[in-house]
Amino acid sequence: MEIAVNILLTIATAATPLLIAAMGELVVERSGVLNLGVEGMMIMGAVGGFGAGYLTGSPWIGLLVAVAMGAVFSLLFAFMTLTLATNQVATGLSLTLLGLGLSGMMGTSFVGQPGERLPNLDIPGLTSIPVVGKLFFGQDPVFYISIALTIAVAWFLFRTRTGLTLRSIGDSHTSAHALGIPVLRYRYLAVVFGGACAGLAGGQLSLVYTPQWVENMSAGRGWIALALVVFASWRPWRVLGGAYIFGAVWIGQLHAQAFGIPVPSQLLSSLPYLATVVVLVLISRNKRLTMMNTPASLGQPFVPDR
Amino acid sequence: MSADGNGPNLLEVRGLTKIFGTLKACDSVDLTIRKGEIHALLGENGAGKSTLVKMLFGSLEPYSGEIRWNGAPVRIGSPSVAKKLGIGMVFQHFSLFEALTAAENIALSLDDQTPISTIAAKAQALSYSYGLPLDPYSLVGDLSVGERQRIEIIRCLLQKPELIILDEPTSVLTPQEADKLFETLERLRAEGKSILYISHRLEEVKRMCDAATVMRHGKVVGHCNPRQETAASLARMMVGNEVEAVVRAPMEGIEKAPALLEIRHLSRKPATPFSIPLRDINLDVRAGEVIGIAGVAGNGQGEFFEAVSGEVTQQDAGSIRIRGKDAGRLGITGRRLLGAAFVPEERLGHGAAPRMKLSENLLLSRHATDGKAFVGAGGIVKTGAIEAASQRIVEVMDVRKSARDPEAAALSGGNLQKFIVGRELDRKPTVMLVNQPTWGVDAGAAAKIRQSLIELARSGSAILVISQDLDELFEISDAIAVMHNGSLSPPLPRAEATFEKIGLLMGGAEPGHADHALETV
């Protein structure tokens, strides 16, 4: 039982950064912007979060800096693609490359240093309940933030007028502009929100998951988050499901490798990707629903005529 | 001013100018709209009508000039300012969101936070009171163009505007739907609202409008009372000179001529949830005839064009036969090699590559059919031969351009269309399919294109024309078929076809029942 609980806890820790980064990107893409720089913003959050935590000794300050780092870094993307109307794919890719390089440079002095870890929740009386206590009341703060974020994004997009406006911009920015909706203002806010989420996800990596700084420690998670958004057909709860399937198979194959199962390790390592894609493709078989949720103006630059 | 309404002035525009680059889209435009009048804004495509109304609605910022609303000068910086003043707009290219419901679409243009359910109830009540029934919870992507326009109108009315701007509202409606719209407009006028009605259809302007302002090349060329004018005199004001009438000599013995294009049981599943399936389409186009395909936009014409042109190939090779040979599995080039030619609806980006020269665009569409003439040994392009052919087309079709061999995007819409049609005509194709031959083309160029299509048919080719412009189809077709929801009616011979019959078929009446339905209307 103890082992099962521990496995569940590691799954949650593995899924959380994917969930947060993907939730941010979901909002960005719902506004019609494709930001391929998630990986870059995430790693910037990771290095910023670790550095601030290490220098101040407070992992909480580290977490705030991680969020700010992602948000500021995404502003660069927003300025290029929204104000200057550059190609979103190319700009996003260069943002990732820039983030990976810049973070490596910023983090040289942090390599090998012991970091600060955010403490797990500990509520007297609740956390000590067998099984349930640790799962529901004994995890790290970022886990709770990720769940609250999913609820908040789902509510915002589908229950508020502002969310409806954001979705409408993703559907047709020309129509939105004709109605007098400030398209670029919404998109700026969405991109910065996405950047803050990616930064938070990076902070989770260097302040919770493995509290240390290693170059390239995001290890492609930004790309997985991007793929999750698409395969989840831009729906928040499916993103949550996808992130947890990925986390579960990821942890599962690690254990399988540790047991020495006679299957090539490369095959095992590819399982999480395969499983996530297969499951999400299966649940998005309804083409009509997928089309309805796909932001039709995704990736198209918008220049308002005045 | 000869408006016969005697209400006070609601809107006065003085000297409004808008410049795009070097083009004066609106040049010192004056316009006065009184309370309770339907005011027509007439002009050809590109005359500056849409630019003018976009400035009135705050979508575009004027370069200079003054707008007065109820006598006071106003600056309309954005559509929300226009809405607050009481100006509503129904766009020509609808500003709707396909993936959202009708009610959500309406909610987006209201600035307050009224819950969607309240808006849906209000919209439904209003829509029924005007006889424009609307299901507020249906997805816009599923609706016909006429229904989409209802959403735009209801959305506009819910804002309780004093002035309603309608940009070419009937260009996408069946004649019957248009009549319904006119009733609504007359009721609004009776309620004291003013309407600015943009159109190039002169009959409906004469029928409904109290005053008219005519624009040409960005300038106002006249104000008049359309009821005292004839369609011909209005056309003269719009175009600036007489337009040559298209001549269509009747064709004898068409029924004995061989069918050059045969379409048999052509069906196609919808490619996307919002596209139209094609349902068992059968049609013969014989040597020497022009067949027109009428239909409200979005009833499968685009899908049909793709299937016949070979942009999308069929499983069944026999579903399309060109000159007696199975062509269903052939791509565009294969079908062109059989003697067919295709002109798509979209000029820039589909019919022509915008940033390539005219001669290069010529090579793009004819590299296979005219391979020997245009491409030499080793695949080297014969620039001289192509340029000569391109100049020949320019002369035959009277294409007006600024440079010897300009980029396609540098030509005006009408001139580029003349070139694209001319590029195909130059080959003397035996089968020709044209989608919207004169959409957005000025009257002179349209007449030229129509005449050349008729002449190609009379020289023994089979021509199929898809168009939403009924006047055009009646002008050039020997028979007219109607496309509705992916099905094609049997072609009605020109002598039997009337606007009413075609209109009923466009609205979805069963073929054969159209006559019956006419009696009960």
Task: Answer yes or no: is pLDDT of A243 > 50.
Answer: yes
Q: A-chain residues within 8 Å CB-CB of B141?
A: 292
Question: Is B99 in CB contact (< 8 Å) with chain A?
Answer: yes
> Chains A and B: how many Cβ contacts under 8 Å?
66
Pick from B109, B139, B273: CB nearest A179: B109
Over residues A263-282, the mean pLDDT reads: 84
- Please give the structure tokens belonging to residue B46: 């590109």
Q: A-chain residues within 8 Å CB-CB of B61?
A: 306
Pick from A168, A174, A291: CB nearest B108: A168
What is the 3-state secondary structure of B40-73?
Answer: EEECCCCCCHHHHHHHHCCCCCCCEEEEEECCEE
User: Is the pLDDT higher at A148 or at B441?
Assistant: A148
Q: A70 is in which domain, residue-wise?
A: 2-293
The model's confidence at residue B3, banded by pLDDT at 50, 70 and 90, is very low
| Residue contact A296–B98, C-beta within 8 A | yes
Task: Answer yes or no: is pLDDT of B470 > 90.
Answer: no
The residues in B 271-290 lying below 8 A from A, measured between CB atoms, are 272-274
Same-domain check for residues B281 and B226: no
Same-domain check for residues B45 and B76: yes
User: Is the pLDDT higher at B399 or at A88?
Assistant: A88
Neighbouring C-beta atoms of residue A135, cutoff 10 Å: 14
Residue B383 forms part of a structural domain: no
User: Is the pLDDT higher at A260 or at B461?
Assistant: B461
Question: Is A303 in CB contact (< 8 Å) with chain B?
Answer: no
Of B210, B239, B268, which closes a domain?
B239
| Residue contact A291–B104, C-beta within 8 A | no
Question: Is A181 in CB contact (< 8 Å) with chain B?
Answer: yes
Give the pLDDT score at B512.
60
Q: Give pLDDT tens digits for B218-232.
A: 899 989 998 898 878
Over residues B347-353, the mean pLDDT reads: 86
Same-domain check for residues B109 and B44: yes
Residue A46 forms part of a structural domain: yes
Q: Write the CB contacts of A196 (distance below 8 Å, at least 6 apart in sequence).
A: A24, A67, A68, A70, A71, A74
| Residue contact B113–A165, C-beta within 8 A | no
| Residue contact B95–A178, C-beta within 8 A | yes
- Please give the structure tokens belonging to residue A293: 């949720």
- Please give the structure tokens belonging to residue B509: 């009446």
Measured between CA atoms, the residue of chain B closest to residue A182 is B78
Q: B-chain residues within 8 Å CB-CB of A167?
A: 97, 99-100
Give the pLDDT score at B1.
40
**Across all residues in chain A, what is the average pLDDT?**
92
User: Is the pLDDT higher at A37 or at B180?
Assistant: A37
Residue B1 forms part of a structural domain: no
Give the pLDDT score at B489.
94
Over residues B89-118, the mean pLDDT reads: 86
Same-domain check for residues B464 and B507: yes
| Residue contact B107–A179, C-beta within 8 A | no
Residue A104 forms part of a structural domain: yes
Residue B28 forms part of a structural domain: yes
Question: Is B110 in CB contact (< 8 Å) with chain A?
Answer: no
Pick from A287, A291, A306: CB nearest B61: A306
**pTM for the whole thing?**
0.79
Same-domain check for residues B139 and B281: no
Residue B288 forms part of a structural domain: yes
Residue B124 forms part of a structural domain: yes
Same-domain check for residues B235 and B261: no
Same-domain check for residues B99 and B168: yes
Q: A-chain residues within 8 Å CB-CB of B109?
A: 179
Give the pLDDT score at A110.
92
Give the residue among B167, B41, B194 at the shortest CA–CA distance from B94.
B167
Q: Give pLDDT tens digits for B24-77.
A: 889 999 999 999 999 999 887 778 888 899 999 998 889 999 999 999 999 998
Same-domain check for residues B134 and B17: yes
CATH number of the domain residue A268 falls in: 1.10.3470
Task: Answer yes or no: is pLDDT of B208 > 70.
Answer: yes
| Residue contact A168–B96, C-beta within 8 A | no
The residues in A 133-172 lying below 8 A from B, measured between CB atoms, are 161, 164-165, 167-168, 171-172
Q: B-chain residues within 8 Å CB-CB of A180?
A: 58-59, 78-80, 82-83
Q: Give pLDDT tens digits for B137-185.
A: 988 888 877 788 888 888 898 888 999 999 888 776 777 888 888 988 9
| Residue contact A180–B83, C-beta within 8 A | yes
First to last CA, chain B: 39
Task: Answer yes or no: is pLDDT of B474 > 70.
Answer: yes
| Residue contact B91–A178, C-beta within 8 A | yes
Task: Answer yes or no: is pLDDT of B493 > 70.
Answer: yes
CATH number of the domain residue B45 falls in: 3.40.50.300
Measured between CA atoms, the residue of chain A closest to residue B152 is A179
User: Is the pLDDT higher at B203 or at B425?
Assistant: B425
Q: How many separate domains does chain A show?
A: 1
Of B239, B271, B305, which closes a domain?
B239
Give the residue among B355, B366, B410, B408 at the shortest CA–CA distance from B389.
B366
Task: Answer yes or no: is pLDDT of B413 > 50.
Answer: yes
The model's confidence at residue B129, banded by pLDDT at 50, 70 and 90, is confident
Same-domain check for residues B433 and B336: yes
- Please give the structure tokens belonging to residue B507: 């609205």
Residue B471 forms part of a structural domain: yes
Give the pLDDT score at B259.
93
Residue A231 forms part of a structural domain: yes
Q: Write the CB contacts of B520 (distance below 8 Å, at least 6 apart in sequence).
A: none
Same-domain check for residues B47 and B191: yes
Pick from A161, A175, A306: CB nearest B97: A175
Measured between CA atoms, the residue of chain B closest to residue A172 is B97
Which residue of A161, A179, A184, A235 is the best one to mutate when testing the B interface, meaning the one whose CB has the most B CBs within 10 A? A179
Q: How many separate domains does chain B show?
A: 2
Give the pLDDT score at A306.
64
**Across all residues in chain B, what is the average pLDDT?**
87
Task: Answer yes or no: is pLDDT of B299 > 80.
Answer: yes
Q: How far is CA B495 from the centre of its chain?
A: 25
Most confident by average pLDDT, A96-110, B101-115, B411-425, B431-445: A96-110
Of B239, B272, B292, which closes a domain?
B239
Give the gap in angstroms from C-alpha A190 to the nearest C-alpha of chain B: 18
Residue B125 forms part of a structural domain: yes
Residue A305 forms part of a structural domain: no
What is the 3-state secondary structure of B106-148?
Answer: HHHHCCCCCCHHHHHHHHHHHHHHCCCCCCCCCEHHHCCHHHH
Same-domain check for residues B217 and B262: no
Same-domain check for residues B214 and B287: no
Residue A134 forms part of a structural domain: yes
The model's confidence at residue B327, banded by pLDDT at 50, 70 and 90, is very high
Residue A61 forms part of a structural domain: yes
Distance CA B491, CA B473 (A): 12
Residue with tokens 């808006």: B119
Dihedral angle sign, alpha carbons of residues A106, A112, A116, A120: positive
Residue A224 forms part of a structural domain: yes
**pLDDT above 90 as % of chain A:** 67
Q: B-chain residues within 8 Å CB-CB of A294?
A: 99
Task: Answer yes or no: is pLDDT of B2 > 50.
Answer: no
The model's confidence at residue B519, banded by pLDDT at 50, 70 and 90, is very low
Give the pLDDT score at A257.
85
Q: B334 is in which domain, residue-wise?
A: 257-349+429-520
Question: Is B19 in CB contact (< 8 Å) with chain A?
Answer: no
Which residue of B87, B92, B95 is the best one to mutate when testing the A interface, meaning the one whose CB has the most A CBs within 10 A? B95
Distance CA B417, CA B412 (A): 9
Q: A-chain residues within 8 Å CB-CB of B59?
A: 177-178, 180, 305
Q: Write the CB contacts of B102 (distance below 8 Å, at least 6 apart in sequence).
A: B120, B123, B134, B135, B136, B137, B138, B139, B140, B143, B151
| Residue contact A180–B95, C-beta within 8 A | no
Give the gap in angstroms from C-alpha B487 to the nearest C-alpha of chain A: 22
Q: Give pLDDT tens digits for B363-382.
A: 998 888 888 888 888 888 88
Question: Is B96 in CB contact (< 8 Å) with chain A?
Answer: yes
